[in-house]
Amino acid sequence: MTNELTVEWLMDALDVLHQRVSTPKLTEPAPNDAQRDALYRAALRAADHGLMQPWRFLVIQGEGLDRMGELLVKAALADKPDLSEKEQHSLRAKPRRAPLIIVAIAACREHPKVPVIEQVVSTGAAVQNMLNAAFAQGIGAFWRTGGPAYHPVVREGLGITGQEELVGFLYLGTPAKTPHPPKSVNPETFFQPWPGK
């Protein structure tokens, strides 16, 4: 009986990994408390050399989304003081593309055996785990970065300091429509034996 349950669970997990797609059109409601807990726990199971837990996450919703929009405008105005009202309005609205945003930050620190790049990759793995956990629960999700992720005004506004790196904005909500199935990809395109013939 145990083996049957294990195989059934494994097939469900593989189906999630093989079928996951991003869902760029999101609406209310945001994930509930139980769903969020599942997302958070999935993040914390990411591959983590040295068990450093080199990450932290900001959870933005409600009024925080509007403040995030103002931060995006502030950053854009620092680069382009004559930014039009239309462009400012568009930037203010961007965080409202989802009812919940999780900002993933690699909280990197010096370690004799774990270079910074591994800590950043580990944080990326945590985001991917949340994407998979979201898909498994029927939650819509997409991962964005773009210029604001690297802008000093945005970094300062979000309290990102020192060696920390903003790895991405994870937008979460209810899919506005049924997502398209993933396109078929041939693994042999990307996996080759080594050494070759």
| DSSP designation for 178 | P
Q: Report yes or no on 87 lying in a domain.
A: no
Averaged pLDDT, groups of 10, the chain, 197 residues long: 54 88 96 97 96 95 98 98 97 97 95 94 98 95 95 97 94 94 92 87
Q: Report yes or no on 6 lying in a domain.
A: no
- Per-residue pLDDT of 125-171, as tens digits, reads 999 999 999 999 999 999 999 999 999 999 999 999 988 999 999 99
Q: What is the pTM of this model?
A: 0.91
Q: Report yes or no on 4 lying in a domain.
A: no
Question: Given this model, what pLDDT does residue 4 score?
Answer: 56
End-to-end Cα spacing for the chain: 45
- Per DSSP, the three-state class of 188 is helix
CATH code for the domain of 53: 3.40.109.10
Query: How many domains are contained in the chain?
Result: 1
Q: Which domain holds residue 42?
A: 24-60+96-178
Q: Report yes or no on 139 lying in a domain.
A: yes
Q: Report yes or no on 107 lying in a domain.
A: yes
Q: Report yes or no on 90 lying in a domain.
A: no
Tokens standing for residue 37: 């807990």
